[in-house]
Chain A
Amino acid sequence: MINVLLFIGFFIFNVTGLTAQTYSFDDPEGILTKKEKQQLEKAIIYEIDFYNKIFPDDTLIKISDVKIIIFDKYVDYVSYEATKGKNVSSGMPIGYFPQTRDIVIYKNKDRSDFLNVCYHELSHFFIRKKMTNSAVWLNEGLACYFKSMNISVNAIKFEKRNLYLTQIKTFIALKDIDIADFITWKPAKFQQMTSYNNYGYIVAYCIIYLLLQKEENILIGMMRDMRNGLTSVAAFDQHYPGGLAQFEKDFLAYFK
């Protein structure tokens, strides 16, 4: 079994967001290229800063909290996950184990979006550290948002997910959007409906996309209150100008 343990050391000198960092890598097998490592590091730092900024009052996530195990053979990846009692769904290149706090990645050379899937799953890892019972729309919406990161040497850009923005138009045309209902869905319902043109992921992504387009502080306020037990519906009513009803109107107008 070829695996690489990647421990990343990280020292935070300034909790306001200006950070000095040092890293240490142990990657003798060279499964990730140098560029991929750099992109993954940047994604980790960016997402940590994002979640720490939302929840600055409690223990900050440190990059040393992150343990990544990488496989370059699918069979090894599946075996490892099986030892942890997890069934691997076909094609999923990454898994996360809350108990051991391991992120397990299979580098599928055939998937051009391999790193983007990593960014997606990293978001689940971080949100779980901050919100024990996050609403599925929030969890998946943020993960899909981070999946759209395009990381270069100098910048991180969020690419528009055009396929999602195309499909949401169809959902709207079919009058198949009910945000008030959607944000109450449990994971099982979310997964069930996602078999329809990726419904759950697309609507969740578009909600996050619109909230961040409007004003980042709305989402920040909602997440803080939702961690303290506020429902998704109440969080929209409390933080979105005009409440949930206005958000639904804005959503339809924006994506139509």
Chain B
Amino acid sequence: MFIGKRTLIASFYLLMPLIAAAQGPRAVTLKVEYEKSKSGLEYKYHAISHDYCPYYIVVDLSRITNYEIPGTKHVATLHPGQNYLFRLKNRVSISSTSGIRYSYYLGNINAKVDAEYRYALPIAPGDSVRIKHNRGKLIFNLKHTSDTVYACRDGIVCSDEFIAKNLKGTQITIYHKDGSFAQYSALQKILTQPGKPVKTGMPIAIVGTNEKGTGMLEIQFYFLDENKIKDTESKSKHSILRPFFHTQNYGYIRLDDNTTYIGEITDEVLMQDMSKKEQEQYLKRKKK
């Protein structure tokens, strides 16, 4: 039986994810707490995530003394809500557990990113757009300020922390089924909410404006990279993706600078994230 609940605050540090987290409001996305047993000899740790997207946590237990520990390091993928982590059993007498430190990263390390996924352009079908690459982001030069931004892929909107404002406007992060993320930035208005599912081609935002008075949307695709998690030298644990897009005029392609692409959403694009059953239902509905 466990009594007494404490939030571990003083003894941890956070390594924020590569991209957006550091810019968000200072809401606590993730907390690690422990419950103390009645005997005072055992502590049960769990993490509470207030986000709708997964996190990967690395808990360093190497400084813990006087306790039976499950290893010098504990790692786990955290889902929304409460996640059990581990128990510490006191070997001798009650002492502080403040040697626990942890880091967490947005993403799921076990996810297998689908590098060949066919993304939709973030514009209405039939519309055209020119793009540029800049610092790992795709810059979509939309025709007008206030143009609608459409989801490139099915997913779920991450927490408020990721609907943050930066110098170029508002941004939104969407988590995909395969563990990748799309961060849409330079927006003036968000049309969806944290925790809401989005579908390919669904309006999700209104673009901001650039110096020329036209709409300029930035999108960065990234994922939590297992190779970088394992490599202690890598400061950033995320890698940027170079996705393939479906276009009406060039088909399935990686986008090039200074080329005009026309948007199109086909059944093949729409059905990629659907289960077989969902695909059948979709096609049935379409026939009707």
Chain B binds chain A: yes
How far in angstroms is the closest Cβ of chain B from A111? 15
CB distance from A144 to the nearest CB of B (A): 16
Q: How far is the CB of A190 from chain B (nearest CB, A)?
A: 12
Supply 19 A–B pairs (Cβ within 8 Å), ascending by A: A163-B234, A166-B227, A166-B234, A167-B227, A167-B228, A169-B227, A170-B225, A170-B227, A170-B228, A173-B115, A174-B115, A174-B241, A175-B115, A176-B242, A195-B136, A196-B240, A197-B136, A197-B239, A197-B240
Contacts A162-B231, A174-B242, A199-B242 known; 14 new A-B pairs at CB < 8 A:
A163-B231, A163-B233, A166-B227, A166-B230, A166-B231, A166-B233, A166-B234, A170-B225, A173-B115, A193-B242, A195-B133, A195-B134, A196-B240, A197-B239
Nearest first, the 3 A-B pairs at minimum CB distance are A174-B115, A166-B231, A195-B136
Bound together, the chains give a CA A173 to CA B114 distance in angstroms of: 10
- Please give, as numbers and ranges, the residues of chain B lying within 8 Å of A193 by CB-CB distance: 133, 242
Which residues of B (177-223) have their CB < 8 Å from a CB of A? none
**Interface check B267, CB cutoff 8 A:** no
Q: Enumerate chain B residues within 8 angstroms of A199, measured Cβ to Cβ.
A: 242
Interface string of B140-167 (1 = CB under 8 A from A): 0000000000000000000000000000
In the complex, the chain A residue whose C-beta lies closest to that of B115 is: A174
**Set A162, A167, A170, A196: member contacting B136, Cβ < 8 A:** A196
Task: Write out, one digit per residue, whether chain B residues 115-136 have a CB within 8 A of any chain A CB (1) or not (0).
Answer: 1100000000000000001111
B132 to chain A, nearest CB (A): 9
Interface, chain B (partner A; CB < 8 A):
113, 115-116, 133-137, 225, 227-228, 230-231, 233-234, 239-242, 257
Q: Which residues of A come within 8 Å of B, CB atoms?
A: 162-163, 166-167, 169-170, 173-176, 192-193, 195-197, 199
The one of B134, B233, B239 that contacts A170, using a Cβ cutoff of 8 Å:
B239
CA A195 to CA B133, docked complex, whole Å: 8
Chief secondary structure at chain A's binding surface: helix
Q: A195–B228 contact, CB under 8 A? A: no
CB A59 to nearest CB in B, in angstroms, measures 40
Which residues of A sit under 8 angstroms from B113, Cβ to Cβ?
A: 174
Closest to A165 in B: B231
Question: Which residues of chain B have C-beta atoms less than 8 A from A173's C-beta?
Answer: 115, 227
Residues of A within 8 A of B234 (CB): 163, 166
- In the complex, the chain A residue whose C-beta lies closest to that of B225 is A170
Residues on B with C-beta less than 8 A from A174 are: 113, 115, 241-242
CB distance from B229 to the nearest CB of A (A): 10
Q: Which residue of A lies closest to B222 (CB)?
A: A197
Chain B residues near A195 (CB-CB < 8 A): 133-137
Chain B residues lying within 8 Å of A167, measured Cβ to Cβ, are 227-228, 239
A192 CB contacts on chain B under 8 angstroms = 133, 257
Alpha-carbon gap, A193 to B227, bound state (A)? 20
Asked whether, in the complex, the Cβ of B116 is within 8 Å of the Cβ of A175, the reply is yes
Residue of B113, B135, B239, B241 with highest tally of chain A CB at under 10 A: B239
Q: Which residues of B contact A166 (CB under 8 A)?
A: 227-228, 230-231, 233-234
Q: How far is the CA of A173 from the CA of B116 in the complex (A)?
A: 11
B158 to chain A, nearest CB (A): 22
Task: Return the chain B residue nearest A161 by Cβ.
Answer: B233
Q: Which residues of A contact B241 (CB under 8 A)?
A: 174
Distance in angstroms from A77 CB to nearest chain B CB is: 24
Q: Given A163-B231, A163-B233, A166-B234, answer yes or no on A196-B242 (Cβ-Cβ < 8 Å).
A: yes
B133 adjacent to A176 (CB under 8 Å): no
On chain A, the residues within 8 Å of B230 by CB distance are 166
Q: What's the least CB distance linking B265 to chain A, in Å?
A: 24
Report A199 CB to chain B, min CB distance, Å.
8
> Which residues does chain B contribute within 8 Å of A197, judged by CB atoms?
136, 239-240
Nearest opposing residue in chain A for B232, CB measure: A162
B136 proximity list for chain A (CB < 8 A): 195-197
Most buried by B among A163, A166, A192: A166
Least distance between B108 CB and chain A CB atoms (Å)? 15
